Structure 1
Amino acid sequence: MTFNEEKFEMLRCGPDCNIKTTTTLHTEGGSHITPTPHVKCLGVYLSADGSFSHHITETVRKARGMAGWVMRTFASREPEVMLTLWKALVQPLLDYCSQLWSPHKKADIQRLEAVQRSFTKHIRGLHDLNYWDRLKILGIYSQQRRRERYRAIYIWKVLEKQVPDPTSLALQAHLNERTGRKCK
């Protein structure tokens, strides 16, 4: 099997800076592979510092771009039309693989929430309402609530052995009649 040398990317992670600076890697053809700060793998940007800030920035940029395209392309601002376009075109960008990259920093959470906040403000009859009232009328969750829900569903799938346990330690659970399922 031959590899396309132009597509090689290298991401260096870990605490040993000496190894990172003194070692070099080369392709089969002898070309030097230079390290990059971010590498895209299966649609998610991984960063050398272990954070997902770059991925969140790119996700917000793409979602804002798609929301802007929807606003420029479609004249109707009726709730049913706008909600259908949101769910079909913008929401998938914000949800993709969110169990992995879900933010913990308040600024990142607010940046993601701002996309939906801005979009719902343009829906007919909802402009003067606050964000939480708009969500209630539309019957949709906040972005943070959606990510929390996806994480809970994923943990449930791990416990039910529907997906492999991604951790090196097996996730353990026991069922108590009074308090429900407890996880270790």
Structure 2
Amino acid sequence: MIVLDTDLKPQYNKPKPREIYVYMKPKWEEIKADIIKLISDITNSNTSVEDKWTNLKIGIETTLNLNVPKKIKHKRHSLPWLSNNVKKKIRRKHKLFQKAKQTGKPEDRGKFKQHKRATQKAVRQAHWQYVNKILDPALEEEQVSDNPYLGVIISDNLKWSSHINKFCNKANSTLGFIRRNLKHCNKHFKETAYISLVRSVLDYSGTVWDPYQQKDINRIESIQRRAARFVCKDYRRTSSVASMMKHLGWKPLVERRREQRLVLLYKIVNDLVAIPTEHHIEFNTRPSRTSNVKQLKLLSANTDIYKHSFFPETIIDWNL
């Protein structure tokens, strides 16, 4: 057996110290005299433009080197993993230290110690993030909270607010386009356009993101209600939109999503689609007076996100 002990340390190029001019303490009279003489010499010379430009630059650099003092600049925060936010915390820590040192008050010293711990934690986190990016290049990619996949926006908190916002905006935009361009068409043509262009967007993958919060349900239903008024050409406040939808034969979208979930569960139970059923589908092996062998065992859930996901929610509807 071979045992390897490795010590992985990130390599970085430390910036070299550089010289900078201290313009607060120059010899202005000498600089002025040198510049006047330099301009006179360049003007009276018969050289080319390129040579004059080169001589001007060299003359200015020579004058500055002779008449302006310099100092060596060492970059204080040269570590590559120190971001601007971390540097601000470090500077804040130094200010609190100086204040606590001057005043000697316990509250100032307490603030310094508290901020010192927070700064050390931020530096450690920044260092480990830097090391992880070196060891795993995939971590260099920008982290996002929402990401589209097959037309559905998946969020890191497993909520569907971002997806609902996007397709509701798209459906509203399409409905507005239809209302502007098909306002003089007959009812059948308007209904066909709505079903093809708008409702198809609202129904897409409804078995996955079917919302349970009433605010999301109402927002989606409001799009179909506006479409019903448009198709029936009835915008009166006293008119019943429910009657219009019943006349058109439109079911509420929440009911359509419920039916879609039940259809998909039927296909899963009967092996008509390639969706694994382990840990989700289990028939009731002990029927009673109020249940039968076709019913499925309910899934326990500790969070609302899982409780209202596809399998737990649809199994309840299946057993009704």
TM-score normalized by the length of structure 1: 0.77
Bigger Rg, structure 1 or 2: 2
Q: Which runs of 5+ in 2 are unaligned?
A: 1-124, 298-320
In structure 2, do the counterparts of structure 1 residues 51 and 159 end up closer, same or farther at CA, with 3 Å as the change threshold?
A: same
Corresponding residue for residue 6 of structure 1: none
Tell me, yes or no, if the aligned pair for 1:63 and 1:94 is still in contact at 8 Å.
yes
Q: Select 1:70's aligned residue among 174, 178, 186.
A: 178
The alignment status of 1:103 with 2:228, answered yes or no, reads: no
Greater helix content: 2
Tell me, yes or no, if the aligned pair for 2:187 and 2:232 is still in contact at 8 Å.
yes
Using CA pairs under 8 Å that are at least 6 residues apart, name the structure with larger relative contact order, 1 or 2: 1
Letter in 1 for 2:180: R
Pairwise CA distance, 1:149: 0.8
Letter in 2 for 1:40: P
CA RMSD of aligned residues (A): 2.5
The alignment status of 1:150 with 2:263, answered yes or no, reads: no
Letter in 2 for 1:154: L
Corresponding residue for residue 159 of structure 2: 51
Corresponding residue for residue 248 of structure 2: 138
| Higher alpha-carbon deviation: 165-174 or 111-120 | 165-174
In structure 2, do the counterparts of structure 1 residues 105 and 166 end up closer, same or farther at CA, with 3 Å as the change threshold?
A: farther
Letter in 2 for 1:113: E
What SS does the corresponding residue of 1:45 show, helix, strand or coil?
Answer: strand
Tell me, yes or no, if the aligned pair for 1:77 and 1:124 is still in contact at 8 Å.
no
CA distance in 1 between partners of 2:223 and 2:168 (Å)? 7
Greater strand content: 1
The alignment status of 1:183 with 2:293, answered yes or no, reads: no
User: Residues 65-87 of structure 1, C-alpha deviation per residue, up to 9 Å, x if partnerless?
Assistant: 11011111213353211111111
CA distance in 1 between partners of 2:161 and 2:276 (Å)? 22
Tell me, yes or no, if the aligned pair for 1:159 and 1:172 is still in contact at 8 Å.
no
TM-score normalized by the length of structure 2: 0.46
Identity fraction in percent: 22
